[in-house]
Amino acid sequence: MEATKTSKDEDAKSRGDLRDPITSDDSGRPHITQYSTGSKFCVGDKVYLSEPGNRSLVGPLLISSVLGGEKYTLVHMNNTQYENGKQINGGDLEHAG
């Protein structure tokens, strides 16, 4: 039986994790490997930004792109770029819920 690709597979690709989770062991039997998602946020997630030196949170903002290595670009809710496409560290972001 062949596994079907799901939207989760597409989500993994959008986060930069392109490894195929279905592999075979030494005996040739297929199994699913477990791996990290590589990213805490996905494109379209609503987040708040905690800027260094600023006590208040900025946002809500939307994840515009996932650059890998926990780096993201953001857009305002009206779809304009935040800080001219500045790369934002994932550690400075919180899910807006």
Q: Please report the pLDDT score of residue 97 as a whole number.
A: 78
Q: What percent of the chain is helix, strand and coil (3-state, nearest 5)?
A: 15, 35, 50
Q: Please report the pLDDT score of residue 18 as a whole number.
A: 47
Convert the pLDDT of each residue in 8-41 to its tens digit: 545 544 544 444 555 556 777 765 555 555 688 9
Q: Please report the pLDDT score of residue 24 as a whole number.
A: 55
Domains of the chain: 1-38 (no CATH), 39-97 (2.30.30.140)
Taking alpha carbons only, the member of 95, 75, 91 closest to residue 83 is 75
pTM listed for this prediction:
0.60
Q: Please report the pLDDT score of residue 90 as a whole number.
A: 94
Convert the pLDDT of each residue in 55-89 to its tens digit: 899 999 999 999 988 899 999 999 999 999 999 99
Tell me which residue has tokens 């297929």.
Answer: 30
What is the C-alpha separation between 33 and 85, in angstroms, rounded?
35
